[in-house]
Chains A and B, each alone.
Chain A
Amino acid sequence: GAVVSQHPSRVICKSGTSVKIECRSLDFQATTMFWYRQFPKQSLMLMATSNEGSKATYEQGVEKDKFLINHASLTLSTLTVTSAHPEDSSFYICSASSDRGRDIQYFGAGTRLSVL
């Protein structure tokens, strides 16, 4: 099956710092990558969709300047939470799909962010 690696799995940072999360597709070319946020006992909330080489498309209510997304290659996308605050503490998950199986998304293991 398709493998998506997400790193780091856990990060604790001070308020005001920036945090970068990486998402890599290990065995396929990810033409599209997605970033989700998940609160405890809730379903996934789509934050943005990114296509390789293009600017990300953000969902309504998601701050573009707060959550910077870069999809520079067909195997790597990054999410940077800028000037993180305690309310940004959450579980962030990436997923990836390829051109061949474009309807299927394969997910990373998630990153638990805690902002102190």
Chain B
Amino acid sequence: QKEVEQDPGPLSVPEGAIVSLNCTYSNSAFQYFMWYRQYSRKGPELLMYTYSSGNKEDGRFTAQVDKSSKYISLFIRDSQPSDSATYLCAMNDGGATNKLIFGTGTLLAVQP
């Protein structure tokens, strides 16, 4: 079993839809959670950063962490064609190594 599971998609939605992206994890020590967006042939761009459980909102993006269920989500409201990209969840335990454990990424296509 992988430490972090993420549906690879592809996920296709019409413009304006609400998108829900999810990851599950098995390591209860994880406490820092991130979502990155990666356009084709580019490096990942940090979208959201959350510590421990709770919600965080930034514009059209909302990140949720439920540590009791080991489940994190990213919601995108009013999705735009420019949101079409691969979304990677990442997390770590705050230990000495600083290593991030990534999900496989979900490919999202927002159709105009």
Q: Which A residues lie at the B interface, using CB under 8 A? A: 1, 4, 6, 32, 34, 41-44, 46, 49, 91, 93, 95, 97, 102-110, 112
Contacts and interface: CB of A to CB of B under 8 A. Distances in A.
B105 A43 contact: yes
A45 to B, nearest CB: 9
Contact of B44 (A42, A46, A97, A107): A107
Contacts of A44: 44, 88, 102
B104 A42 contact: yes
A107 B43 contact: yes
Contact of A43 (B34, B41, B45, B88): B88
Please classify how large the interface on chain B is, using the bins under 10, 10 to 19, 20 to 34, 35 or more.
20 to 34
B41 A97 contact: no
A106 B99 contact: no
A102 B43 contact: no
Contacts of A107: 36, 43-46
Contacts of B104: 42-43
Interface of B: 32, 34, 36, 41-46, 49, 88, 90, 92, 94, 97-100, 102-105, 107
A109 to B, nearest CB: 5
Contact of A110 (B43, B97, B102): B43
Contacts of A103: 32, 49, 92, 94, 98
Given A107-B36, A110-B41, A49 B49 contact: no
Nearest to B39: A109
Contact of B46 (A43, A91, A104, A110): A104
Contact of B98 (A49, A93, A110, A112): A49
